[in-house]
Chains A and B, each alone.
Chain A
Amino acid sequence: MSADTQRTHAIRTGSSPVTRRALLKAGAGAAAAGAASLALAPLSRIAWAAGSDEPIRIGFQVHRTGIGATYGRWYERTANAAATYLNENGGIAGRPVELVPEDDGTDPKRGAEVVEKFATAHGVDFVYGPLFSHVVIGSAPRAGELKMPYFVVSEGYHVASGSLNRYVFQPGITDVRAQVQAMAPWVAGNLGRRVTMMFPDYAFGYDHRDYFSAAVEAQGGSIAAKIAIPPTESSFTKYFPQVPADTEVLYHVMVGPGVLTFVKEMGEHYGSNRPQIFGFIDSLEGVDIASPGLSFLEGTYLWEALPRYADGLDSDANRHYRERVGINDEGASVDDPKDVSTNSHMFGCWETLFVIKRAVEESGYRSRNPDDVAALIEALEGFDSFDEGIPHPQGYKEFNGALHQCYGRQFISEVREGRLAVVHTTSIEDGKYEAEADYTTQSL
């Protein structure tokens, strides 16, 4: 499009999906390229750089159906909020951002098919968005074969482990290994050094068992017992008597519909005479902490990646992020205060899109030809940190270009009066572990 045919229509804003048609309708027009000042006040009308109004098309692989649908709903909302914000502020390299959604059904095989569809049918520049680790693990090889930059928001250790490939990045959320390890210093120093772990008897539970037990022992603590609970268990009363009497901290990471029963039965078992209790918000993402049955959580502690309640992280960037996504001070939807968000995970969708923006702009990426893709990958691998601010409301992050993984601070919150109150913020150092991979040695 030549300069004399520039269009200057306002871009669609609000919560609407950022689709190609929306963008074309919005008639993105001139200018604002590189004007990524990311000011707090959005520009109400912007225009796209002359001759560069072809959108950056990002395949949004979303868990719309299947077991991940609850998360998918919030991931979609966050991704659209980020894309809308970018488009109001100059887009990416002066080009509008277009999200192309495809449902993977939270299904690894379909995930791989969706990646292929993005590359062949939709002709997107990058793919982004999957959360569930088994979907990431099932989809990533296809992304590698297709040389498709693939940005996951999964918090799995699979990226940093080196088990995927050079085209896969996780720049928006810390991996679970670092998260778990970062808990140990505070838990050992404040709650107790004699820990019993209760975890589901499969790989997710084993990650916690192995990473946390090693980390707490490094802090001078010890593990009193490791109690693995079969995934199909729906009553837990027979497991609590197995907790040794000298336990100072009970570390639990139960997930699934049995969590509430677990908490209730834990309360019935211990009454008021209980050890300190520490868990992960994963168990209760999207659930009101003040729900009946959860009263026993009062006075216990939970990991959060980003505090659910606004007062847990009082920063301009976080306030801006929450406002744009549409979550209130209690971490629920502004449209429906009972609709609790998945706040400890979905910020990764926001932050990842800004990392993509930076990589595109710094690498000079224009289209998915091999040279531009290589330049983009190498630009990403050259990043070493992301400053806290509107693009990174969760906080400052280090990025390891060899591992394709970012590392940020974590939060520990206490349940007080049915709310979560942040009592500690970890340092990035707390979660560091010995690296075991280097993707940059793989050819592009």
Chain B
Amino acid sequence: MVRIGSAVSTTSRRLPDPASAGSGRSPELLYPPGRLATVLLLLAAAPAAFAHAGERGFVMLLPTGLFQAGGTAAVAASFLAVAWLRAASLLRGMESAQWRCFPVPRRVRGTNAAAATLLVVLIAAGFAGSRDPLANPLPLAVWTLVWVGLAFAHAVFGYLWPHLDPWRPFASLARLAVFGSDEAPPPFSWPRMLSRWPAVALLLLLAWFELVYPAPRDPAVLAMAVAGYSVLTVTGMVLFGEGSWTRNVEVFSCFFRMVSGLAPIRIADENGARRLVLAFPGSRLPASDALPAAGVVFVVIALATVSFDGLSRTFWWLDLGGFNPLEHPGRSALVGWNTLGLAAAAACLLAAFAICTLAGARWSGTPAAPALRRFVVSIVPIAFGYHFAHYLPSFLVDAQYALKALSDPMGEGWNLLGARELHVTASFLTHHASVVAIWYAQVAAIVAAHVIAVVVLHALAGGTASGRRAQVLSQLPLTVLMIAYTLFGLWLLSTPVAA
């Protein structure tokens, strides 16, 4: 290799001489240094402008106002319809409307052990695999397959998490190592005063990490977070027992348990035989136990966080914070503003829920505490509806990346699932027909979620108030809030967004 440094070796290289330029096409761009300051000023803000015209652009061409009005009216109408029904009859009807289907085999053993093995592989991949968050399986597994995909699965198939929980086998091993027996009782009982507040704190932390922290998908950062959370969880399970820990602290257990209340499918145990049972989505929610205060806050915050995720991308929110949505400054610049927004969203929704529920209790002359502890369950369908609508588009893209990444988790050239060469496509987010189809699915999810919520709320009202008038009054303010929230949700799906 010949060094040609001699031709260009001086830092005081002359500007190109047009006369001596080869083929007469040399640059002729000469430079008066005095103009540099002007240029610097001019260029201080010379952003790119590649905000994408696709997905939301097509939605904005639809008559979104009509959809907002129609969806909101449908929820209001569903309230008027169920208000004529006796709450107790509705509750009985919902509970009895079940269809016993075919028997199902005993559950497969070893699923937890498989999940635990996968967890170890994923953490290792986070540290040692590709740095690309769309090629490394850890971010895709956590944010796409678990947080979104498993939430979808729980809303359909019920509470699967105890069979998929990757930490239980480690807790068993730790118990065996420390106490000599996996049957050993936990050394501590859960402090009653803590209730489920640790789960609330972890949900907020998880939401902040996902929505506000600049790099939640960075494989190494996430591997550290997952490893730390795993140590915490296994330690907690050993010290306080799996039951207490998953009920009061472990945020995935709490979230999936909450969502599974919606499931139209469950497996019933009938004298040792297992049978698949179908029911209306959400029909088992009214029979839920009254929640403690922390449980109430958990449900409301679950809705607040996913609502804020949608809101934080809107032009409206960025403009409110003084940011130009067409030159999105990146997450780092938004940490303060979005932290404030997340906290405000949680506080506002908690206040709105409390005020509406207490107002209903006051108007109907029923006790406030039972209403707060029971009515909150009606928010579960809405929280999941938002979760579904919000994550559906990104799930459809990232699930492809996940499949590809899991085919080669360590970037070693493996092809375990045969998808290594898959070309990930996101064309359905830029192609008119599929954008509209996805949008319809999102609108349907939001409206259906609110309709279910209104029905569940009416059924719940039967448990806290007697007499039809008192029942209707007790739920009226919260129903109005739900109708307003329908409008908000449909607006979120229609308004310009920056990402």
Contacts and interface: CB of A to CB of B under 8 A. Distances in A.
A230 to B, nearest CB: 9
Contact of A292 (B44, B61, B217, B425): B61
Interface in B147-171: none
Contacts of B424: 73
Interface stretch (B182-190, B250-258, B296-304, B327-335): B327-335
Nearest to B496: A257
A134 B327 contact: yes
Interface string B398-421: 000000000000011100000011
A384 B57 contact: no
A326 interface: yes
B421 A258 contact: no
B4 A379 contact: yes
Contacts of A21: 411-413
B4 A402 contact: no
Contacts of B499: 66-67
B107 interface: no
Interface in A369-400: 375, 378-379, 381-382, 384-385, 396, 398-400
B330 A65 contact: no
Interface stretch (B19-27, B119-127, B230-238): B19-27
A443 interface: yes
Interface string B16-52: 1000011101111111110110111011111111111
A270 interface: no
Interface stretch (A154-162, A213-221, A348-356, A416-424): A154-162
Contacts of A70: 50, 52, 54, 426, 430
Interface string B78-103: 00000000000000000000000000
A375 to B, nearest CB: 5
A77 to B, nearest CB: 8
A162 B324 CA distance: 25
A258 B57 contact: yes
B425 A336 contact: yes
B214 A105 contact: yes
Interface string A204-244: 11010000000000000000000000011010000000000
A432 interface: yes
A333 B423 CA distance: 9
Contacts of A264: 61
Contact of A384 (B26, B58, B421): B26
B57 A260 contact: yes
Contacts of B427: 332-333, 336, 338-340
B281 to A, nearest CB: 32
A440 B53 contact: no
A257 B60 contact: yes
Interface residues of A, number: 117
A71 B26 contact: no
Nearest to B330: A107
A14 interface: yes
A364 B1 contact: yes
Most buried by A among B8, B428, B497: B8
Contacts of B218: 103
Contact of B27 (A154, A291, A398): A398
B31 A381 contact: no
Contacts of B48: 68, 131-134, 154-156, 204
A14 B332 CA distance: 35
A108 B431 CA distance: 30
Interface residues of B, number: 93
B53 A108 contact: no
Given A21-B412, A157-B46, A401-B16, A378 B9 contact: yes
Interface string B323-354: 01111111111000000000000000000000
Contacts of A259: 53, 57
B330 A333 contact: no
A402 B1 CA distance: 26
A102 B57 contact: no
Given A156-B46, A363-B3, A398-B25, A162 B36 contact: yes
A288 B316 CA distance: 27
Nearest to A402: B15
B2 interface: yes
A435 interface: yes
A101 B135 contact: yes
B133 interface: yes
Chain B interface, >50% SS class: loop
B16 A232 contact: no
Given A202-B327, A260-B60, A364-B5, A101 B132 contact: yes
A363 B39 contact: no
Interface in B165-217: 214-215, 217
A236 to B, nearest CB: 11
Interface in A150-174: 154-158, 160-163
Contacts of B53: 255-257, 259-260, 283-287
B426 A339 contact: yes
A98 B274 CA distance: 54
Nearest to A230: B319
B56 interface: yes
A252 interface: no
B331 A66 contact: yes
A34 B1 contact: yes
A137 B326 contact: no
B498 interface: yes
A4 interface: no
B271 interface: no
Nearest to B434: A338
Contacts of B26: 384-385, 398
Most buried by A among B29, B36, B214, B413: B29
Contacts of B35: 436
B130 A292 contact: no
B285 to A, nearest CB: 35
B60 A93 contact: no
A399 B133 CA distance: 35
Q: Which 3 A-B pairs have the closest CB atoms?
A: A107-B330, A435-B29, A382-B8
18 contacts: A12-B413, A67-B52, A67-B328, A103-B218, A105-B330, A134-B47, A134-B48, A134-B330, A161-B43, A202-B47, A204-B47, A261-B60, A340-B427, A378-B8, A396-B25, A400-B16, A401-B13, A438-B33
Interface of B: 1-5, 7-13, 15-16, 21-23, 25-33, 35-36, 38-40, 42-58, 60-61, 130-135, 214-215, 217-218, 315-316, 319, 324-333, 411-413, 420-421, 423-428, 430-432, 434, 495-499
Interface of A: 12, 14-17, 19, 21-22, 25, 33-34, 62, 64-68, 70-71, 73, 76, 93, 100-103, 105-110, 122, 131-135, 137-138, 154-158, 160-163, 200, 202-205, 207, 231-232, 234, 253, 255-261, 264, 282-288, 291-293, 326, 332-333, 335-336, 338-340, 361-364, 375, 378-379, 381-382, 384-385, 396, 398-403, 407, 428, 432-438, 440-444
Given A17-B130, A33-B1, A103-B218, 7 more contacts: A17-B132, A64-B133, A66-B330, A134-B47, A202-B327, A288-B430, A402-B31
